[in-house]
């Protein structure tokens, strides 16, 4: 899949959602956040997300269902490579309710506040999702991009 480029100087505003907490976890919460990612997505994404906890605050946004206290999704930046957004994942039972949009926009606003002008979404799976929520544009000729090394 291609990489996408997202302009950060004209982002849509963030709308709070009833019943959903969206924000950065604290360092001592890294075990539960990383277990959530490993259990629901992949060890590769867990490894990428673990680098988010090398910064204080971490370069990662989570969404938590306030009623149950359970993690509903996450979005990282500066983990795959500097200036890259992702990985992003929403718990299967929480999809289709705006959680993905909420964590991605919160992460993009944090990148803007950190001084970036653009974000790259590497090897973007659901291209239309990103085009819809943050005006992402396909970077022509970006496959395999930074993912071309031979380690498996």
* Residues of this chain that bind ligand COA (CB under 6 A): 86-90, 95-101, 124-126, 128-129, 132-133
**DSSP 8-state symbol, 104:** H
The C-alpha atoms of residue 25 and residue 47 are separated, in whole angstroms, by: 17
Q: Tell the smallest beta-carbon distance from residue 133 to ligand COA (Å).
A: 5
CB of 140 to ligand COA, least distance (A): 18
The distance of closest approach from Cβ of residue 73 to ligand COA in the complex, given in angstroms and rounded to an integer, is 6
What is the smallest separation between the CB atom of 121 and ligand COA, expressed in angstroms? 6
Ordered DSSP codes for 115-132:
T-SEEEETT-S-HHHHHH
Of 26 and 118, nearer to ligand COA (C-beta) is 118
For ligand COA, the closer of residues 57 and 93 by Cβ is 93
Residue whose beta carbon is closest to ligand COA: 100
Q: What's the min distance (Å) between Cβ of 14 and ligand COA?
A: 12
Rounded to whole angstroms, how far apart are CA atoms 61 and 77?
A: 9
Residue pair 123/3 in contact by the 8 Å Cβ criterion: yes
User: Which of 8, 85 has the CB closer to ligand COA?
Assistant: 85
Question: Which tokens is 70 given?
Answer: 């359970």
Residue closer to ligand COA, measured from CB, 28 or 82: 82
Instruction: List residues bridging with 45 in a β-sheet.
Output: none
Are the C-beta atoms of 87 and 33 separated by less than 8 Å?
Answer: no
- Please say which residue, 71 or 124, places its beta carbon nearer to ligand COA: 124
C-alpha 146/C-alpha 51 separation (Å) is 17
């Amino acid at each position: 899949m291609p990489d996408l480029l997202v302009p950060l100087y004209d982002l849509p505003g963030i709308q709070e959602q009833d019943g959903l907490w969206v924000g950065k976890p604290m360092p001592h919460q890294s075990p539960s956040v990383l277990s959530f990612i490993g259990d629901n997505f992949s060890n590769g994404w867990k490894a990428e997300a673990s680098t988010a906890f090398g910064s204080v605050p971490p370069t990662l946004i989570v969404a938590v269902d306030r009623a149950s206290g359970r993690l509903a999704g996450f979005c990282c930046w500066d983990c795959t490579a500097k200036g890259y957004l992702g990985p992003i994942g929403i718990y299967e039972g929480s999809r289709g309710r705006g959680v993905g949009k909420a964590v991605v926009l919160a992460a993009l606003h944090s990148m803007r506040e950190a001084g970036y002008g653009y974000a790259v979404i590497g090897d973007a799976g659901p291209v239309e999702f990103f085009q819809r929520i943050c005006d992402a544009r396909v970077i022509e000729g970006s496959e395999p991009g930074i993912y071309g090394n031979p380690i498996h």
